Amino acid sequence: MRPTPESPDFMVGKFAIHNIEEWQGEFARPQDLFAGFDAKDFATFSARIPLDYYHPQSDRIYAFLQSWVICANGLTILYDTGAGNDKPRPGIPVFGDLHTPFLGNLARAGFAPEDIDIVICSHLHIDHVGWNTRLENGAWVPTFPRARYLMSSIDRNYWDPAGSGDRPSLTGSQVNAQVFEDSVQPILDAGLAELVDGTYEIAPGITLWLAPGHTPGHLVLELQSQGENALFVGDILHHPAQVFRPDWNSVYCEDQGAARQTRRKILQQAADRQARVVPAHFGGGHSVWIEHCDDGFRPRFPHSEPDVSRIGPEGAGHE
């Protein structure tokens, strides 16, 4: 019998949102993650970033891998699927050969893989498609067998080793080594992928739209219900520092100029609409509101602390 879903982490109008954690830990120094990082500039606002997001003693960003289950309009939607288990990841070894209780966390939230109607891949990077598949009898098979997997047709072509047109950067190719083969191709082979071009309405109040830069086909999910608005922005924002400094891309952004333009557009929209912004890797309360200030934008955080008990020892952070 399917368990009763636990209380949602938050609501967007009548839509219930559940956070599913996969991994948490100290990830990288800010100077190693951000292109254009300036230490003196960082020092002017770093004290305004909660400890849930940055550890000054070790000078490390604290990050999460996490997914979101969205119960809306009779659909059960999973946004992003983390890094997955048992997958060699030479490009980012910290995300390789993991053995996390992700499916157990999903079950504790009240959901079995068979309950998922739609999987959304914000983009086809290493840490956003991993649980698309799981290893069974030596083969990679779809984890969510009833789901439609929505992914960008642009990203699908870009990251496919046999794709045509623009090719990934050297950094992108190294980081995403083996990812398409074990986490995307099996979904295509199973006939479960639905390729999205541009804006795509999943259901009333649930819309995907293109937000290029981090990858050329990066998708943002927008929820609108009863006058409330939320933007699930994937890797448009890796860290609150990028709210203070929107021009600081991650070193993993494929098109640096487009990434900056997209980030500013989303921050502006979120501030104007008072929308909750839900990035892929935020710690703490895992989301943020954006406010206008004289010199640009500033984040407003929900009060929350990392809850290690929901991850367990197998999913504890790596350094």
Which pair of tokens denotes residue 38?
């300036």
pLDDT attached to residue 226: 98
Q: Is 282 within the bounds of a domain?
A: yes
3-state secondary structure of 108: helix
Q: Is 3 within the bounds of a domain?
A: no
**Contact between 204 and 73 (Cβ < 8 Å):** yes
Q: Is 223 within the bounds of a domain?
A: yes
pLDDT attached to residue 314: 35
pLDDT attached to residue 5: 64
How much is the pTM? Answer: 0.93
Confidence of residue 316 (pLDDT cuts 50, 70, 90): very low
Span 55-74, mean pLDDT? Answer: 97
Q: Is 147 within the bounds of a domain?
A: yes
Backbone angles phi, psi at 278, to 5 degrees: -120, 95
Confidence of residue 295 (pLDDT cuts 50, 70, 90): confident
Please tell me the total count of domains within the chain. 1
Q: What percent of the chain has a predicted confidence (pLDDT) above 70?
A: 93
Span 173-186, mean pLDDT? Answer: 97
Tell me: pLDDT of 317 over 80. no
Tell me: pLDDT of 45 over 80. yes
Tell me: pLDDT of 196 over 80. yes
Give the CATH number for residue 248: 3.60.15.10
Q: Is 2 within the bounds of a domain?
A: no
| Residues 136-157: tens digit of each pLDDT | 999 999 999 999 999 999 999 9
**Cβ-Cβ contacts under 8 Å for 307 (sequence gap 6 or more):** none
Greater confidence (92 vs 6) lies with 92
Confidence of residue 313 (pLDDT cuts 50, 70, 90): very low
Span 6-24, mean pLDDT? Answer: 96
Give the side-chain half-sphere CA count within 13 A for 13: 16
Q: How far, in Å, CA of 194 to CA of 118, rounded?
A: 10
Q: How far, in Å, CA of 250 to CA of 34, rounded?
A: 5
Q: Is 269 within the bounds of a domain?
A: yes
Average pLDDT value for the chain: 93
Confidence of residue 52 (pLDDT cuts 50, 70, 90): very high
Q: Is 50 within the bounds of a domain?
A: yes
Which structural domain range is residue 156 located in? Answer: 10-315
Work out the number of other CB atoms within 10 angstroms of the CB of residue 1.
Answer: 3
**Contact between 103 and 113 (Cβ < 8 Å):** yes
Q: Is 5 within the bounds of a domain?
A: no
Confidence of residue 311 (pLDDT cuts 50, 70, 90): very low
CA 57: distance to chain centroid? 26
| Residues 273-294: tens digit of each pLDDT | 999 999 999 999 999 999 999 8
